[in-house]
Amino acid sequence: MGDRPGFDSGGSDPYDARAMGNPLRDRRTAAELASVGQVIEFTDKVSSFEGLAAIVEADLAALDPARMPSDWRESAVSGQLQFGFVDVAGRFPMVSGNATTHVVAVCQRCLEPFRLKLSVELTLLLVDAEQIVDGYEEFEVWELDEPALRPQDIVEELLIMAMPFSAMHDRMAECKAFLPAEASDDEGVQDLKRPFAALRSQMTQNKTDSD
């Protein structure tokens, strides 16, 4: 391709998000979002991301109800998205940005709940299925199943894919499995269901099958 890779919003003024009900959840085509240089700054709750919340809830189901944090759905999900075109001709929409949240997970070593940080940086080239794009290796190709998209769905899927296959405390000092008096039984740890791993694997497989 002769076009120089890089962000280009086509010279349009940034789109005024106040004109829409909720730009994170509203459905629009990638070209529409890119043509106005849509910028979305968001702060929401885990409960608003149904797929993410379902996975967290399945993980917490392994806990005794008395040990389950009551406010885990209130955890904030925040970030920013910016849409534009990678080419001057306006043929290939893209989105860049970031998203961060802390979810409550069950440590697979000590079987205790803890706050797990999920953070993603994205630079995606938004293309229709079977569309061929060359020359933009710095972008991850994101195939769209439908003409219209919800930006929230992209954020949610990336956060789910960022979940570890087996969640554990980052610091040994915070994990009760490393305290002799409260060491977890190895067999019990091995037998614990790991919905993060199973559901993330299924999502990855579905993504692969659709490519």
The tens place of each residue's pLDDT in the chain, 211 residues long, gives: 444 334 444 444 444 444 457 999 999 999 999 999 999 999 999 999 999 999 999 999 888 888 888 899 999 999 999 999 998 888 889 999 999 999 999 998 888 999 999 999 999 999 887 766 777 777 888 999 898 999 999 999 999 999 998 888 877 667 877 776 544 444 444 444 455 555 555 655 665 565 5
- Distance (Å, whole) CA 112 – CA 29: 43
Beta strands in the chain (DSSP E): 28-29, 39-45, 76-85, 93-106, 113-128, 140-144, 148-149
User: In this predicted model, what pLDDT tens digit does every residue of 151-174 receive, in sequence order?
Assistant: 999 999 999 999 998 888 877 667
What's the pLDDT score for residue 130? 72
Q: Give ∠ CA 17-23-27 in degrees, rounded to 5.
A: 135
Q: What pLDDT was estimated at residue 201?
A: 59
Ranges of each domain in the chain = 17-210
